[in-house]
Structure 1
Amino acid sequence: MKNSIKQIVPFAIALVLLTTACKNAKENEKVVDTKTIENIVPENLKWSERMMLSEIERFPEATKLDFSDKPRWTYTPGLVLSACARVYEQTNNQKYYDYIYDYANTLIDSTGTIDTYKLSNQNLDMIKSGDVLLFLYPKTKEDRFLKAMETLNAQLESQPKTSDGGYWHKKIYPNQMWLDGLYMAEPFHTHYARDYVNDPVKTEKIYNDVVLQFDLIQKHSKDEKTGLLYHGWDESKEQKWANKETGNSQHFWSRGMGWYGMAMVDVLDFLPENHPGREKIIKYLNQYAEAITNVQDESGLWWQVLDQGNREGNYLEATGTSMFTYTFAKGVRKGYLPEKFLEVANKAYTGLIDNLISVEENGIVNLNKCCAVAGLGGNPYRDGSYEYYTNEPIRSNDPKGTGPFIMASLELNK
């Protein structure tokens, strides 16, 4: 019996020691696990910085914003970097400036030639990244950035037009004006004319031409019943997507209307106070704001096809909602819109945060339910039908949403 006890005691001690060691090991493992989740984006920052830092983490090279595998001069980096410039101006954080500079530095050579850009394509989308140069040139005085701006302005001076003076959206889309084009080209054109065209006659001509684009979109694309604007207008009425009587596309697309709203509030930053076009654009903006508010969902968000509500396949979409939020918030702050539209903007912003923003354990912020892309015509052919708009890919963190979300966050100081 004594021998049995002698054998059991060491075994029991060993078992206790082993159990304790396992327990300690597990506790140590837990400590190690929590340390491996690095907080990349601090949660005590405002949403504008949190989203901008998240974008930099997702796309360390600014030239590859928009999920690109190669550097590209295109409108989406220009949109996010315009937002980044505003964050930089608020924070004076060198990281944001360096991110913007990297884009222009990579794509513009010593002669001012823009890599991957072709003036001969006459594509309005390519003008948007000119805003990056308008930000950088006064700070750097690098001649190559000025030359690149001059190239973009030269494109606008030679852009093909409809019979009444409306810019074609692209050379490959003849006779067509799209809502998108006003945001892509007009803020740059107005800003460039104000600061870099040293001929009062030429400057005035550009201002008049810019205002004309808004006049024509209102004339051709606005639906008198709802106040909403159709995505595209084909003067020739030859496109399959075009109404044979009006030339308009079939539907009111959320982001198309979003582009147009942002175009109005941004152009007004540069159009002189005494230019008669200002009052017209402010009038258009007020009509627009009423029409957009009428189709806002109870959640505060807006639908992909604006006036189709809960129709099967439709969804509450992030990019258009972010753009409307920015447009209303800025419009009120600048005195273009009545105070009541700030309530609309705040409701929309709350809707975004509650429904479409998610935050990862490491602090990275995501904007979900973004329509990836939508257009008209082309190959494969985009027919502008309800089914077309609701079946285009949906993804998170599309720059056409993150950029306006950052700008809306700044306007609302959230």
Structure 2
Amino acid sequence: MKILDNYIDQLLEKSTPQAPVWNIEKIKSGGKSTWNYIDGCMIKAVIELYHITGNKKYLEFADSFINYFVNEDGSIQSYDPKEYNLDNVNAGKTLFDLYKLTGREKYRKAIDTVYSQLKGQPRTSTGNFWHKMIYPNQIWMDGLYMAQPFYMQYEVEYNNKANCRDSYEQFLHVYDLMRDTRNGLYYHAYDDSREAFWCDPVTGLSDNFWLRALGWYAMALVDTMEVMPEEMAEEKARLGAVYKELIDAMLPYQDQESGMWYQVVNRGRIQPNYLETSGSAIFAYAIMKSVRLGYLDERYFAFGRKAFDGICEKYLSEENGELQLGGICLVAGLGNKEMREGTFDYYMREPVVKNEAKGVAPLILAYIEIMMREKAER
């Protein structure tokens, strides 16, 4: 996959912490670069590239990028833990590896800075973290990926496993509250208070099955299970069963020709629904990784590989001498009443862009899984 190697190099060569070319949200807003989950996704993928290739240019890039934001006392530029926004936890995952790889004490202190947010994060009546302070009583699928792998890893490595069960139980509540028992898919969000304009007043659920939200949840399960302590074998098996149910629910919706999934998963035949890159790449990664870790049988690997190949064939192309990855939904959420009401039409309205990290990073992670498999087979 020389083309993908070249594409990754192209993105890194053009990016600095102040102006990463993959953060299309920031570029469109014209805002100053900040500590954010989008860059966190990309830098995590770059660190994983270092692990698989041993090429120091990846470690140097990741270290330089995160170093720019982290102060010597462990505080983080542009990040306020008391905003209580789960998205801001995601970039904290990079700190575990960077601390071990570089020995920079400020990364260890910054891990505690990020953890301080989770200690104060408001919770729903079930004990789940609110997605954001500005969205009271709401659980979004996105938030499980943003926070839970970090939370579990912190507990295992730095807090004597004190709150591992809390993280585990938050997944179980989501299984009970947000899964549609008819098709096994999960709704994008849930309002514990039933007050949000977008939610069903009886169930508290939003209206649709958004692909990337389901993908965030799949990655959250795989990445959290990976760092769970050995003594939680029974709980890990339970999450493994929840995860397998999710993948088995997604496979009937996988496009037979491309191996990808649609932006609104169960409405593939309705125009203008489209095969979406970021969510498809996330599932490609999650499926292939979970086969490697033994959470899924060997036969599932082909489904993940098919999605990866389909994305590259459909959306990775060359324009004006530069590689481009298209088909990426820029952003989708539930909030502003005029703009983000969670209908099918809403998910179709959001911009589709190229080279955005929410699509690029999981495609790199899926590529790494293919490299790891090839390495193991040599």
TM-score band w.r.t. shorter chain = over 0.9
Residue by residue over 1:255-278, the C-alpha shift from the partner in whole angstroms, topping out at 9 and shown as x without a partner, is: 000100111111111101330320
Partner residue in 1 for 2:291: 332
Q: Specify the code of the residue in structure 1 equivalent to 2:325.
A: L
Q: Does 1:311 align with 2:254?
A: no
Indicate which of 256, 262, 266 corresponds to 2:219. Answer: 262
- Match of residue 86 from structure 1: 48
Q: Which residue of 1 aligns with 2:165?
A: 208
Q: Deviations over 1:273-300 (max 9, x none)?
A: 3303201110011000101101111221
Change (3 A) 1:62 1:320: farther
Which residue identity does 2:354 align to in structure 1?
S
Q: Which residue, 53, 60, 80 being the options, matches 2:9? A: 53
Q: Which residue number corresponds to residue 128 of structure 1?
A: 90
Percent identity between matched residues is 35
SS in 1 for 2:45: helix
CA shift, 1:94, in A, is 2.1
Residue 63 of structure 1 contacts residue 103 of structure 1 at CA under 8 Å; is this kept in 2? no
Instruction: Give the letter aligned to residue 277 of structure 2.
Output: A
Cα distance change on mapping 1:78 and 1:242 into 2, 3 Å = same
Output the amino acid matched with 2:48.
R
Q: In the TM superposition, what whole-angstrom CA distance separates every residue of 1:125-177 from its partner, at most 9, and x where no partner exists? A: 00011111111111222222111110111111111000110110000100000
**Counterpart of 1:227?**
184
The correspondence for 2:241, drawn from 283, 286, 297, is: 283
The within-5 A match list for 1:146-185 is: 146-185=108-147
Contact 2:197–2:337 (8 Å) recurs in 1: no
String of CA shifts for 1:283-337, please: whole Å, max 9, x gaps. Answer: 0110001011011112211000000012011111000000010011011111101
CA distance in 2, matches of 1:217, 1:66: 29
Give the corresponding residue for 2:280.
Answer: 321
Residue equivalent to 1:21: none
Larger Rg computed on CA atoms: 1
Indicate yes or no: 2:302 matched with 1:343. Answer: yes
**Structure 2 letter corresponding to 1:187:** P
For residue 411 of structure 1, the aligned residue among 365, 369, 377 is: 369
Greater RCO between the two (CA within 8 Å, min separation 6)?
Answer: 1
Question: Partners in 1 of 2:363 and 2:6 — Cα distance?
Answer: 11
Q: CA deviation at 1:53?
A: 1.3
- Structure 2: which amino acid aligns with 1:57? E
- Equivalence for 1:252: 209
CA shift at 1:63, angstroms? Answer: 5.9
Mapped to 1, the partners of 2:306 and 2:223 lie a distance apart of 22
2:36 corresponds in structure 1 to 74
CA contact (8 A) 1:62 1:77 kept: no
Q: TM-score, normalised by structure 1?
A: 0.84
1:92-136 deviations in Å (ceiling 9; x for gaps):
222211211122211111221111111111000000111111111
Per the alignment, residue 395 of structure 1 pairs with 353
Residues in 1 aligned to 2:68 and 2:308: alpha-carbon distance in whole angstroms: 35
Hey, what's the Cα distance between the residues in 1 that align with 2:57 and 2:129? 37
RMSD (Å) for aligned C-alpha atoms: 1.7
Question: Once the two structures are superposed, what CA deviation does each residue of 1:183-227 show, in whole Å capped at 9, x if it has no partner?
Answer: 000111111222222xx3xx23x2101111110110110000010
The answer to whether the 8 Å contact 1:52/1:84 transfers is no
Deviation at 1:60, TM superposition (A): 3.6
Q: TM-score, normalised by structure 2?
A: 0.92
Tell me the distance in 2 between the aligned counterparts of 1:212 and 1:398.
32
Q: Which moved more, 1:99-108 or 1:303-312?
A: 99-108
| Superposition deviation, residue 361 in structure 1 | 6.3
Listed as ranges, the matches of 1:3-152 within 5 Å are: 45=2, 47=4, 49-61=5-17, 64=20, 65-67=22-24, 68=26, 70-152=32-114
